[in-house]
Amino acid sequence: MDNLSDGRDLIIVKDVVLRYPMINMAPQSLKETILAPGKSKYHNAKYYESLRGVSFTVKKGERLGIIGRNGAGKSSLLKALAGIYPIQGGEIVVHGEVNSLFDLNVGFEVEESGRSNIYHRGYLLGYDRKDIQKLESEIISFAGLEEFIDMPLKTYSAGMQVRLAFSILTAMGEGVLLLDEILTAGDAEFTTKARKRMEEMIAEASCMVYVSHDLEVVKRICTRVIWIDSGLIRCEGDAESVIHEFLMDIERGGRPV
């Protein structure tokens, strides 16, 4: 990472097409597969065109915001960048380790203690035991869970789980950061703390892509914004002007954000 000079493209997205097969909408059993050989469920499914030719780049040090209406393809784009959704057309190149924050408190082991879950998350993010040990106490104190950390996660309130998840991920977020609407976590006191921490983390990351409906936050932390509408880039530029365009469109169309 160190040999990369500022200004180099860390994320390159070229003509990306993402067709999301709606497999759950078109269930197919083993019987149907046997009776119709050669036609797999995947190829039979109806598709939802989530992204229809999207191109952009993110340079080192850039913080790209992605805005748009519900179902416009923002989250699909982020998951495609993370490599979780395979794309059907175009190309995505990401230089560096991808760290993503998608569902904050999903994937915890509920029978295990908070401490043990710190390790699981750390391992998932590609850290080894020693690195996690160094971060452990800081994570616990930021989450404010000193008394509860050795209790099973199922005894935690929803807010406590979110606090723990947030603390882990922000302590370990490095490289290419992909974030999906995470500032709505925890109570008011924690939210303030969390905002500050996230801004610190963003400053340390080599670049970031942030999906959010909170336009104020996007305006404050993002250096550039892309507005996605029905799987296409509608508008791209500095945060101020793109958000203005977006709000104008909502006023005209009257559809909720």
Partner 1 sequence: MSPIKKMNIENFGYYLSAVFKYRNLCLSLARVDLRNRFRRTYLGILWVVLQPFSFSIILSIIFHYVFEKNFVEFSIYVFSGIVIWNWFSDTISLGSISIVQSQALIRQKKIPMLIYTIRFYLVSTTSFLISFMGLLVWFLVTGHSLSWTALLVPLNILILMIVFFPFCAFSGIVGALYRDYQQFTQILLQTLWFVSPVFIDKTVFLNTEVRYWDYINPISNILDLIRKPLLEGSLPSLENYLIPAGFGLVGMCVAYLIFRNKEDQIIYYL
Which residues here bind partner 1, judged by CB under 8 A?
Answer: 9, 12, 20-21, 23, 29-30, 33, 41-42, 45, 82-86, 93-95, 98, 100, 102-103, 106-107, 109, 111-112, 116, 119-120, 123-126, 128-129
Q: How far is the CB of 22 from partner 1 (least distance, A)?
A: 9
Q: What is the DSSP string of 143-205?
A: HT-TTTTTSBGGGS-HHHHHHHHHHHHHHH--SEEEEES-TT-S-HHHHHHHHHHHHHHHHHS
Q: Report in angstroms how near the CB of residue 241 gets to partner 1 at its nearest.
A: 29
By C-beta, is 124 or 158 nearer to partner 1? 124
Q: Which is nearer to partner 1, 33 or 230 (CB)?
A: 33
Q: Which is nearer to partner 1, 89 or 126 (CB)?
A: 126
In the bound state with partner 1, the residue whose beta carbon lies nearer, of 33 and 223, is 33
Give the residue with the Cβ less far from partner 1, 125 or 218.
Answer: 125
Distance CA 149, CA 165 (A): 12
- The answer to whether 209 touches 178, Cβ cutoff 8 Å, is yes
182 contacts 195 by C-beta, under 8 angstroms: no
Q: How far is the CB of 109 from partner 1 (least distance, A)?
A: 5
Least distance (Å) between residue 37 CB and partner 1: 14
The least CB distance from residue 140 to partner 1, in Å, is: 18
- Looking at the Cβ atoms of 96 and 237, the one nearer to partner 1 is 96
Q: At 94, list the tokens.
A: 């990401």
Amino acid sitting at position 196: K
Strand-pairing partners, residue 211, are 66, 180
Read off φ and ψ for residue 51, nearest 5 degrees. Answer: -130, 130
Pairing relation of β-strands 207-211 and 63-67? parallel
CB of 104 to partner 1, least distance (A): 10
| Tokens linked to 7 | 């200004």
Burial class, 58, CB count within 10 angstroms (exposed 0-12 / middle 13-18 / buried 19+): buried
